[in-house]
């Protein structure tokens, strides 16, 4: 169990590094025209579209091999959650915050992505800005009138939390008796962040529930990618239960107080159910479907290596599956473009409440 836990922690924290501006263009939104003009994104590698520095794995092949054909700072072979949500909303995927001075200013009209892989609501083992610091950056732009009150009132915020806080907690502490109290502190900070984003003028917010941590390939490898870790999935259940309960309490209190800025336009994107449904669908679909949807497409060629590792003289220390287009997981932590495509399809009913 100790070895299993440490493997996951290493993989969760490893996923990124610090800030660096980049000018590479990323596509995303392919949907129809929409009155929603902007999407503001906060969170981690599940939502990051290029904020991490070039030393991170997301800036090295084979990441980005499906889209845009080269590494773009996304932790996948192609599009990620942010891209699919933007497309559903009928807008282009918002530009990463670190690119803001290197792109045509007209591209900023679609919003901005402040997410950095490896981060959480609190400081993690990564060096990137946590969610509070990301919101600080957003607030600075609002105070500079980069975005007006009118701009923000017709916008949506996407808030992603994929588990790096729990990885950091276990690395630094690891006392499971203290885990329930820590989960409460994570949820309390997350709710505070949501209220702060709304206070800056964004009225519509989508926040992710935690995906089944125990089903990430780094943990399912011990069972030849057949079974999920029940202990890590229990963390997911506790987190998601507390999240729903806290948000319901918040809505109740604001309703009693007659708040004019109620959180009625806040939805939870249930990544747990979406992941489970997507994995089940891929496991049973016909054609070239993967017999083991829990198995990642890109893996290290041998122990000690991971997806994207390159040795002396450019020797690739990783191997790819035959059909990335049918895989669910890209690497040991992150879904492939196909995985995110299927997952996002199960989120449309929730997102429709924000239209």
Tell me: the pLDDT tens digits for 178-194? 999 999 999 999 999 99
Q: Provide the 10 A C-beta neighbour count for residue 302.
A: 10
pLDDT in tens, 280-314: 998 877 455 445 899 999 999 988 899 999 988 88
pLDDT at 3 over 60: no
Check residue 55 and give its pLDDT.
87
List the catalytic residue out of 65, 93, 331, 336: 331
Domain that holds residue 183: 2-286
Q: Give the residue among 48, 116, 112 at the shortest CA–CA distance from 80.
A: 48
List the catalytic residue out of 45, 76, 87, 229: 45
Pairing of strands 204-208, 39-42: unpaired
Of the listed ranges 137-141, 249-253, 259-263, the least confidently predicted one is: 259-263
State which H helix or E strand residue 287 sits in. none
pLDDT at 23 over 50: no
User: In sequence order, which residues have a C-beta less than 8 Å from that of residue 186 and are 6 or more positions away?
Assistant: 120, 121, 122, 161, 165, 166, 239
Which residue carries 């030849």 as its tokens? 224
Core vs surface per residue 224-251: b (16+ CB within 10 A) or e: ebeebbeebbebbebbbebbeebbeebe
pTM: 0.88
Check residue 262 and give its pLDDT.
53
For helices 131-143 and 179-199, the axis angle rounded to 10 degrees is 10
Query: Would residue 307 count as lying in a domain?
Result: no
- The Cα–Cα gap between 332 and 57 comes to 12
- The Cα–Cα gap between 104 and 263 comes to 34
Query: Would residue 149 count as lying in a domain?
Result: yes
Q: Provide the 10 A C-beta neighbour count for residue 90.
A: 16
Angle at the Cα of 85 from the Cα atoms of 186 and 200, rounded to 5 degrees: 55
The total number of structural domains that make up the chain:
1
Q: List residues bridging with 157 in a β-sheet.
A: 40, 205
Pairing of strands 298-300, 318-320: antiparallel
- The Cα–Cα gap between 156 and 151 comes to 10
Query: Would residue 321 count as lying in a domain?
Result: no
Outline where 155-204 has alpha helix (H): 164-172, 179-199
Of the listed ranges 207-221, 224-238, 252-266, the least confidently predicted one is: 252-266
Query: Would residue 344 count as lying in a domain?
Result: no
Check residue 175 and give its pLDDT.
83
- The Cα–Cα gap between 267 and 207 comes to 6
List the catalytic residue out of 76, 229, 334, 336: 334
User: In sequence order, which residues have a C-beta less than 8 Å from that of residue 223 and are 6 or more positions away?
Assistant: none
Query: Would residue 352 count as lying in a domain?
Result: no
Check residue 145 and give its pLDDT.
93
pLDDT band at 170 (very low <50, low <70, confident <90, very high): confident
Residue 268 · residue 242 · CB < 8 Å: no
Is 322 a catalytic site residue?
Answer: no
Residue 48 · residue 73 · CB < 8 Å: yes
Mean pLDDT of 71-90: 97
Residue 239 · residue 186 · CB < 8 Å: yes
What CATH number is attached to the domain comprising 39?
3.40.50
256 burial type by CB count under 10 A (0-12 exposed, 13-18 middle, 19+ buried): exposed
Is 334 a catalytic site residue?
Answer: yes
Angle at the Cα of 253 from the Cα atoms of 249 and 258, rounded to 5 degrees: 145
Query: Would residue 348 count as lying in a domain?
Result: no
Query: Would residue 335 count as lying in a domain?
Result: no
Q: Using DSSP, how many helices (H) and how many strands (E) does the chain show?
A: 11, 8
pLDDT band at 274 (very low <50, low <70, confident <90, very high): very high
Query: Would residue 322 count as lying in a domain?
Result: no
Is 353 a catalytic site residue?
Answer: no
266 burial type by CB count under 10 A (0-12 exposed, 13-18 middle, 19+ buried): buried
Mean pLDDT of 232-260: 84
CA separation, residue 211 to residues 2, 233, 277, 328 (Å)? 21, 9, 12, 14
């Amino acid at each position: 169990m100790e070895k299993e836990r440490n493997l996951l922690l290493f993989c969760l924290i490893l996923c990124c590094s610090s800030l660096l501006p980049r000018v590479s263009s990323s596509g995303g939104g392919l949907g129809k025209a929409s009155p929603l003009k902007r999407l503001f994104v906060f969170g981690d590698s599940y939502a990051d579209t290029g904020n991490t520095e070039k030393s991170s794995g997301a800036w090295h092949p084979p990441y980005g091999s499906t889209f845009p054909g080269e590494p773009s700072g996304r932790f996948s072979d192609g599009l990620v959650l942010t891209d699919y949500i933007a497309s559903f909303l009928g807008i282009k995927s918002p530009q990463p915050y670190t690119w803001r001075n290197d792109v045509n200013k007209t591209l900023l009209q679609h919003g901005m992505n402040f997410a950095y892989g490896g981060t959480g609501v609190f400081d993690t083992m990564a060096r990137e800005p946590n969610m509070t610091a990301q919101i600080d950056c957003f607030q600075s732009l609002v105070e500079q009138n980069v975005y007006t009150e009118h701009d923000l009132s017709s916008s949506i915020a996407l808030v992603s939390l994929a588990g790096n806080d729990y990885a950091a907690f276990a690395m630094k502490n690891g006392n499971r008796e203290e885990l329930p109290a820590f989960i409460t502190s994570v949820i309390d900070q997350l709710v505070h962040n949501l209220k702060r984003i709304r206070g800056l003028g964004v009225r519509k917010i989508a926040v992710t529930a935690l995906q089944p941590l125990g089903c990430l390939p780094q943990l399912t490898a011990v069972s030849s990618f057949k079974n999920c870790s029940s202990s890590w999935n229990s963390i997911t259940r506790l987190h998601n239960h507390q999240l729903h309960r806290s948000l319901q309490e918040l809505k109740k209190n604001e309703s009693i107080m007659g708040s004019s800025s109620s959180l009625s336009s806040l939805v939870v994107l249930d990544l747990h159910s979406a992941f489970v449904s997507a994995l089940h669908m891929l496991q049973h679909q016909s054609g070239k479907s993967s017999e083991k949807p829990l198995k990642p497409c890109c893996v290290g060629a041998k122990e000690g290596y991971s997806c994207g590792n390159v040795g002396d003289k450019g020797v690739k220390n990783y191997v790819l599956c035959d059909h990335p287009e049918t895989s669910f997981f890209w690497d040991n932590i992150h879904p492939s473009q196909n995985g995110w495509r299927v997952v996002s399809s199960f989120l449309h009913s929730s997102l429709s409440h924000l239209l």
